[in-house]
Amino acid sequence: MRIAIRHGRLIDPAHQVDATIDLFVAEGRIAGVGQPPAGFTADRDIDARDRVVCPGLIDLCARLREPGQEHKATIASETAAAAAAGITTLLCPPDTDPAIDEPAVVELIRRRAEAAGQARVLTLGALTHRLRGERLAEMAALQEAGCVGVGDGGRPVASTRVLRRALEYAATFGLTVFLTPLDPALGHGNAHEGQVATRMGLAGIPAAAETGVIARDLELIRDLGVRVHFGRLSCARSVELVARAQAEGLRVTADVAVHQLHLTEIDLAGFDSQCHVLPPLRGLRDRDALRAGLANGVLGALCSDHQPHEPDAKQAPFGDTEPGISGLDTLLALSLRLAADELLPLSASIERLTWGPARILGLESGHLGVGAPADICIFDPEADWRVEPDRLRSRGRNSPFLGWELSGRVTHTLLEGRVIHEA
């Protein structure tokens, strides 16, 4: 289908475009920007007046719960939620059940995502067999099966010896390694170690559980030259370490979950289990450092860290609940709030959701240049909405933002030139 998107405010950070320009789509690709190609006749016109037209969002961490935890969510349910949120590409960590440590699991996820047809689902292969941190997974076979990288799936490798061998193996095949900076020996807790956790009687996780692992890993990266991405940083010191490594020329990138930019340990008041996340919500200084790191580009991407749960998972004493937030539905609106609060320009917010993660993954998408895949998000930046359970498309309704008033609603989402969502 040939589609003309007219009168919209086109924001394409990759090409530094922010202007009212028409966009033309044909054969699943961007066919023209500003002017249609010769002989172009639209099968459909979309009036994007008073709306923003940008690349489809790319989420670097979204647990879809399939295979293994279909009682929480499925690939079909969560990709439909992603489409409604303007997200066209999701990266699935390897901590499924079974773990993504063999090609058959990669193929299962690919087929079910294609059958759903609502979003592009990419997979990370397991760094070690069954994610147990004991022996290496067959990374070459996983890469051949379609994995765009390998990772620890939120289960960090405790053994430095095993991790070094895994990084060497990944470097041999040019794979990006996605690491969770958390020391398992220090990470047995459910809140940031500090006065709030002490007052509430909660087991604390110190900042050193994150920063110590990053310092160790950076030394291995320096020795091996491997490309590493640190996922979901939470501490001010972590941002400093990554910034210094980047200045030294190490092949290191990092992201932050959007909820870490809006919430802190103070939000644990009342033992709200919706705020039970891992890494934990930390202090105001940490939040401000994460915001600054996002603004100056040290943190190259925003992600949802999507973890949908069934209601029972959050209905217990705080320490006994399962950590995680259902984040697909609010990813765009919370990112736009950063721009509204003048923490960074709108184009920069969109860049961290599109071109930034595309570069980390080495994708050809994430921009709207001629010839790029026609993955497009169209949203109304002024549309206000209240976050309520029945308005969330994800099967998971576990969000600490319930009751918040947000701005920004997606009106159209296109995946490779197909309209997969229309409000």
**What confidence tens digit (pLDDT) does each residue in 264-290 have?**
999 999 999 999 999 999 999 999 999
Q: How far is CA 302 from CA 12, 294, 335, in A?
A: 16, 8, 8
Residues 6+ apart with CB under 8 A from 324: 63, 276, 277, 278, 305, 307, 308, 309, 398
Question: What is the number of structural domains in the chain?
Answer: 2
Same domain, 25 and 130: no
| Residue found by looking up tokens 């076979």 in the block | 141
Instruction: Kindly state the average pLDDT of the residues 57-73.
Output: 98
301 lies in a domain? yes
Cis check for the bond before 279: say yes or no (omega within 30 of 0): yes
Nearest to 10 by CA among 390, 394, 370, 277: 370
Same domain, yes or no: 32 and 84: no
CATH of the domain at 125: 3.20.20.140
30 and 75 inside one domain: no
Indicate the average pLDDT of the chain.
97
66 and 205 assigned to the same domain: yes
The answer to the question of residue 276 being in a domain is yes
Over residues 287-338, the pLDDT tens digits come to 999 999 999 999 999 999 999 999 999 999 999 999 999 999 999 999 999 9
What is the distance between the alpha carbons of residues 413 and 83, in angstroms, rounded to a whole number? 6
Say whether pLDDT at 187 is over 90: no
**Structural domain contains residue 399:** no
Same domain, 35 and 142: no
Residue 47 included in any domain: yes
pLDDT exceeds 90 at position 388: yes
199 has a pLDDT exceeding 90: yes
- Cα-based torsion angle of the residue sequence 322, 323, 327, 328 in order, rounded to the nearest 10 degrees: -60
Burial of 40 from C-beta contacts in 10 A (0-12 / 13-18 / 19+): middle
Rounded to 10 degrees, the C-alpha dihedral 349/354/359/362 comes to 160
137 and 264 assigned to the same domain: yes
User: Are 165 and 65 in a shared domain?
Assistant: yes
Same domain, 199 and 139: yes
The CA-based angle 226-242-210, given to 5 degrees, is 95
3 state SS of 242:
helix
Residue 393: inside a domain: no
421 in helix, strand or coil?
strand
Percent of the chain with pLDDT over 90: 99
* Helix 75-84 and helix 103-116, axial crossing angle in degrees, nearest 10: 50
C-alpha 330/C-alpha 72 separation (Å) is: 18
| Beta pairing partners, 418 | 415
**Domain of 12: which CATH number?**
2.30.40.10
Say whether pLDDT at 205 is over 90.
yes
Omega cis (within 30) before 206: no
Mark whether 94 and 161 lie in a shared domain: yes
Asked whether residue 401 is assigned to any structural domain, the reply reads no
d(CA 300, CA 264): 21
Q: Average pLDDT for residues 137-157, to the nearest whole number? A: 97
Tokens representing 72 are 């929480």
8 A C-beta contact, residue 146 and residue 123: yes
Q: pTM here?
A: 0.97
Task: Give pLDDT tens digits for 350-373.
Answer: 999 999 999 999 999 999 999 999
- With 90 as the cut, is the pLDDT of residue 182 above it? yes
Residues 225 and 266 in one domain: yes
Within-domain flag for 114:
yes
For residues 359 and 251, what is the distance between their CA atoms, to the nearest angstrom?
A: 12
Residues 6+ apart with CB under 8 A from 196: 265, 266, 268
In a shared domain, residues 240 and 337: yes
Active-site amino acid positions:
305
The pair of structure tokens assigned to 149 is 């990288």
Domain interval for residue 7: 3-52+373-388+407-422
Same domain, 16 and 97: no
Identify whether 325 is part of a domain.
yes
Q: Which two tokens stand for residue 45?
A: 């016109």
